[in-house]
Amino acid sequence: MPGDFKIRGYTVGQPPNAPILVAFAALVLGWLVDSGTVHDVARAVFYVAITIWAYEEAVNGVNGFRKGIGIVGLILIVVSIAGSIA
């Protein structure tokens, strides 16, 4: 894929895809609004978008490194959500 960041021919980075861009936008919005409904919706959108991104990486990553990032991302999401519930 053009624009991929490779180290010794191994893809370690790619241009951002839609879920990661949505997650980043929601994260920034959540930082800008400290509380209230907008903050809560931004946080929910962030978690959904980052979960979609991590799942896509884990299942469809171009190599083991990218799939590993997705798996680690999914684990961190579960830990983060579990920590905020407790």
Q: Which has the higher per-residue pLDDT, 10 or 70?
A: 70
pLDDT(1) > 70 = no
Task: For residue range 9-68, list pLDDT tens digits in order.
Answer: 777 777 889 999 999 999 999 999 988 999 999 999 999 999 999 999 999 988 888 899
pLDDT at residue 73, as a whole number? 94
Q: Which domain holds residue 28?
A: 17-85
User: Does residue 36 belong to any structural domain of this protein?
Assistant: yes
User: Does residue 74 belong to any structural domain of this protein?
Assistant: yes
Q: Contact, 81 vs 46, CB < 8 A?
A: no
The two structure tokens encoding residue 64: 């083991």
| Residues facing residue 7 across a β-bridge | 10
Domains of the chain: total:
1
pLDDT at residue 9, as a whole number? 77
User: Does residue 7 belong to any structural domain of this protein?
Assistant: no
User: Does residue 1 belong to any structural domain of this protein?
Assistant: no
**Predicted structure pTM score:** 0.83
User: Does residue 10 belong to any structural domain of this protein?
Assistant: no
Give the residue-averaged pLDDT of 68-77. 95
